[in-house]
Every structure is written in C-alpha cells, then in structure tokens.
Amino acid sequence: MKTIVAVDLNWGIGYKGSLLVKIPEDMSFFKKMTLGKVVIMGRETFESLPGKEPLEGRKNIILSRKEGYRDNRITICHTLDDIFDVIKEYNSDDVFVIGGESVYKQLLPFCKEAYITKIEHRYDADKFFNDLDSNESWELASTSDLKTYKGIKYRFTKYVNSKLLSENCG
C-alpha cells in the first residue's frame, strides 16, 4: 500500500474541508499515480470531491464509522479489517491511501511508500499529515527540482517506510 498527499511546511493538508491550495501539476501527478488503481479515503474526503462523485477510473473505497452510510457507486468499509479484506485481491502497489487526516493516521503504518508534494508555504490548516521527516521509520528516497506555480514553490518527494520494508524482507 502507498499514500499520496500534498503538505505545507507544517505538514498541514486541509482547512475547513478543502485542500490548502490546488496546484495543477500536483493534481495531474495525483491522477497519473492513482488512475486505474484502488483509492482509500474517508467519508468526509469523499464528500469533498467535486460533485461528491467517485474518482473516475479508480476503485473507490470509503472508510466510514457511519453504520448506515450507503452509496452503490463505491465500496464502504467500517473497520480496518474490512479494508484489508477488500484490498487483499489487489496488488498492494495498486492501493493508495488518499485522505483525510484520520484515514492517513490509521493506514500510514501499513504503507511502504509515501508520495508527498511539499509546498514551501505555511497555510491556515486544521488537518495534518504525520511529519515523516521526524519519523524514524520513514526515509526520504527522492526529491524533484524546485517547481513554481503562481509564486507557490513546491517539490515532489518520495519517502519509503524502512521499518515496513525491513519487516517484509526479514
């Protein structure tokens, strides 16, 4: 399993139910990485999508504590066990955790790679991603050149979960 997210300098990811900023190249990267794959998200993240529509060309799995929550366009899971049961039929490299904060926190320990768009700005944020730079299990594997969009500087980075990789190899 992998994860993908855009973060600011404080590892903020959202504010009042929206992304902190929309950078077209980041949105394209997200689409390229997840198209044809399985995406796992929380109910609030799903409901924040344009038109509350499932992401096209992807299997959408929603983790929700709301027992009565139903939508025949998506797969709804109420526990992590439910999610692991559903995704066992897929290649783990084809499964992406895409938010929000609670879902990231619950599933990050099971991810072997994290694709982080690091935005060099501090925004007002009320939702955050784990700071991988201060997490000894995660190592920065690659960083793109600095990019700019309308004065916003950002980089594409990739982290690997060395703890998970060593457990799988040992």
Note the pLDDT tens digit of each residue in 136-158: 999 999 999 999 999 999 999 99
Residue 61 has a pLDDT of: 98
Residue 66 has a pLDDT of: 87
The pLDDT tens digits of the residues spanning 95-140 come to 999 999 999 999 999 999 999 999 999 999 999 999 999 999 999 9
Angle, CA of 106, 104 and 121, to the nearest 5°: 145
Query: Cβ of 170: how many Cβ atoms within 10 Å?
Result: 5
Q: At 35, is the pLDDT very low, low, confident or very high (cuts 50, 70, 90)?
A: very high
Residue 165 has a pLDDT of: 60
Q: How far is CA 13 from CA 55, 71, 101, 104, 156, in A?
A: 19, 26, 8, 11, 15
Residue 67 has a pLDDT of: 85
Q: What residue type is assigned to position 44 of the chain? A: E
The pLDDT tens digits of the residues spanning 6-22 come to 999 999 999 999 999 99
Compute φ and ψ for 71, nearest 5 degrees: -165, 115
Percent of the chain with pLDDT strictly greater than 70: 96
Task: Return the CATH superfamily for domain 2-169.
Answer: Dihydrofolate Reductase, subunit A (3.40.430.10)
Task: Tell me if residue 165 falls in helix, strand or coil.
Answer: helix
